[in-house]
Amino acid sequence: MKKIVFLLISVFSLFAFAQESEEFRSPGTASYYLAPVEASGIDGTMQVTEQIDMGSRIVVSLSGIDTGQNYDLELYEGNCGPDRVLVTELEPVGEFSNDPYVSLNDTELDFTQLTEGDYFLYVLQDNKILACGEVGLGANASTN
């Protein structure tokens, strides 16, 4: 009888533990389009991926650029336009040795903050704006 009671208590304990454990959740991702400015011919995408240990990975891929050139990436609050607050500068496109069309950045910026906030990304060369893309709320994004 003691064995049966012990077995029942063990089984119920396992069910209780299983219900309390967190469900597996895939990291969130969102992709945003970067549109050419003033017929620059440069466009691309910005992909944001949630990191397990907090923060985000931001990957920017550009097309229409000249190989061997660097293109600066600046993330701002608000919408594409003047009078903006700089959030962070990302690694320039053109410096990633394996792929000159990509910038790879691990940041402390929170995924939810980025994807639910109001931001935009400028692509610049010699302080001239070549492309811009809305990021977060109000942007045309594909998310998972």
Local confidence band at 14 (pLDDT 50, 70, 90 cut-offs): low
Q: Both tokens of residue 78?
A: 């608000």
Q: H-helix or E-strand containing 2?
A: helix 2-20
Helix (H, G, I), strand (E, B) or coil at 19: helix
The predicted-structure confidence for 25-68, as pLDDT tens digits, reads as follows 788 899 999 999 999 999 999 999 999 888 999 999 999 998 88
Q: For residue 62, list its beta bridge partners.
A: 44
Instruction: Report the length, in residues, of the chain.
Output: 144
> In this model, does residue 137 exceed pLDDT 60?
yes
Share of the chain above pLDDT 70, in %: 79
The domain locations on the chain are: 29-143
By C-alpha distance, which of 26, 18, 74, 14 is closest to 46? 74
CATH class of the region 29-143: mainly beta
Instruction: Give the pLDDT confidence score for residue 5 in this predicted structure.
Output: 46
